[in-house]
Amino acid sequence: MKNISILGISGSLRADSMNTLLLKTLADFLPGHVRFQLFESLDEIPHFSPGIPDHGGVIRFKQAIQMADGVIICTPEYAFGVPGTLKNALDWTVATGDLNDKPVAAISASPLNTGGDKALASLLLTLTALGTKRNDESSLAIPNIKLKINSLQKISDEPTIAALKAQCTNLLKIIG
């Protein structure tokens, strides 16, 4: 079986982010031939403006995407939208098409019962603009996330675990 590499991108910069925890949890569900890498330097990416040459954090971000067979983005919702840090990073990839044709899964998680659905909808629009490869099952909104984490800081809610596993299976199917 050929080795596969998945890149996880969290839309949250918080050290104890629940979205980052979801990505780390999901990594445990990937089969042995799949390598998971978490991109942890979103805050090192400068503000995007057309014409500025790639440097530092931008180059590392693009290389991480290019080396991955698939990407999983997990994000909170801020003010009904995608966190600016994440949108900014994605904007850097427009001109160079790093995410074009790339299999991507998009997940939002929120302490509210909306599950961050507006951020997810906005993220999916951006991912469409970027030409990512997805199907009808490539997204997941997780509501009431705080209730799904136990005192050991583990995702303990069985339906959420099943939904995360389904995202892994679907992404691997799209990667082929």
Please report, as ranges, the residues that interact with ligand FMN according to CB under 6 A.
Answer: 12, 14, 17-19, 76-80, 110-112, 114, 116
Q: Which residue has the tokens 């445990």?
A: 28
CB closer to ligand FMN, 70 vs 116: 116
Q: How far is the CB of 113 from ligand FMN (least distance, A)?
A: 9
CB closer to ligand FMN, 58 vs 119: 119
CA dist list (Å): 61 to 41, 93, 128, 169: 8, 9, 19, 25
CA dist list (Å): 113 to 43, 90, 116, 141, 147: 28, 26, 8, 10, 11
> From CA 137, how far away is CA 156, in angstroms rounded?
22
Q: How far is the CB of 35 from ligand FMN (least distance, A)?
A: 23
Q: How far is the CB of 88 from ligand FMN (least distance, A)?
A: 16
The two most distant CA atoms of the chain are separated, in Å, by 48
Q: How far is the CB of 165 from ligand FMN (least distance, A)?
A: 20
CB closer to ligand FMN, 75 vs 170: 75
Q: CA neighbours within 13 Å on the CB side: how many for 60? A: 13
CB closer to ligand FMN, 69 vs 77: 77
